Amino acid sequence: MNAGVTQAATIGVIGDVHLFWDEADIAFFNRGGYDLLLFVGDLAGYTQVRGLRLARSLRKLDVPAMCIPGNHDGLHAFQLGAEIAPRAHRFRDAFCRGQARRCHSLDRALGHVDMVAYSRRRVVPGGVPLNIVVGRPHSIGGRRLACIRYLRGAFGVRSMEDSAVLLKSLVDQCDDAPILFLAHNGPSGLGDRASSIWGCDFRRKEEDWGDRDLEEAIRHARDSGRRVLATVAGHMHRRTKSGKLRPGQVQKDGTLYVNAAEVPRHRKVNGTKRRHHVRLTVTNDGASAQDCWV
């Protein structure tokens, strides 16, 4: 490495895909220019069959890639409904049966694309040493943990408190390199309006819909003297139910927060199909993000 030359990692952050992915996306990322791709989850729509087909197509990527499962990944439609609809909550536990098997199928379908959850990866994209701390999988946001039966069996997580403890232990495993958090839903603490970066837009009462365990882990990292360059997530679609737009990024306390969930990520612009992702540039000192429609 030349002294005085700042190394920079170029990371592609792909928001909630929800089946909007095709050969042109593969070709674009395989043309070069990216050191790492981070999928924030929700590859699938409402059926696992199509989600698995999409996951298999990601194997054609030549770029190193990671994917955290969202609340649409590894859940069948009834399970997803039970997690979301208040009246169906009593079926949550029963429909959660078999989720470990469904997640295993997703992992196999993804091939070399690294399916990650509650983990820490040490990487050096573009020559920049980074700790990637991966948050709670299948998050639906808010105060309640989704897929609790699965989280208990797979990770020993029984509560939001357990989840925060586990995430903090991952932070403690990091070395001196800066940290980048990858999660499905973003952290709490960034606004309680419907159009906040992770605010609740589907209830009458506006509130913070971010993940409290993730906020605690980020604070713990900072309090223990670590540099948290960025946190990337999605889940709360940028266009809210009332048609307002959330910010796609926010800076707070020296950390860049990116919500990459432009849904649908394929759109026609002047008759031409465009594809969304966020281009995240990371150096040892900081991170910047740019929305790209290609």
Positions touching Fe ion (CB under 5 A) are 42, 70-71, 235
- Least distance from Fe ion to the Cβ atom of residue 148, Å: 17
DSSP state for residue 105 in the 8-state scheme: H
- Least distance from Fe ion to the Cβ atom of residue 164, Å: 20
Nearer to Fe ion, 212 or 219 (CB): 212
Nearer to Fe ion, 128 or 260 (CB): 260
DSSP state for residue 88 in the 8-state scheme: G
- For 203, 273, 280, the CA distances from 10, given in Å and listed in that order, are 37, 24, 6
- Least distance from Fe ion to the Cβ atom of residue 184, Å: 6
Q: What's the rounded Cα separation, in Å, for the pair 240 and 287?
A: 26
Q: What's the rounded Cα separation, in Å, for the pair 117 and 162?
A: 15
- Cα angle vertex 183, ends 127, 279, to 5°? 45
- What pairing do the DSSP bridges indicate for beta strands 130-134 and 287-293? unpaired
Q: Facing residues of 291 across strands?
A: 278
- Least distance from Fe ion to the Cβ atom of residue 173, Å: 27
Nearer to Fe ion, 42 or 216 (CB): 42
Nearer to Fe ion, 254 or 264 (CB): 264
Using CA atoms in the order 99, 100, 102, 106, what is the torsion angle rounded to 10 degrees?
130
Residue 206, burial from CB neighbour count under 10 angstroms (0-12, 13-18, 19+): middle
- Least distance from Fe ion to the Cβ atom of residue 16, Å: 6
Nearer to Fe ion, 235 or 276 (CB): 235
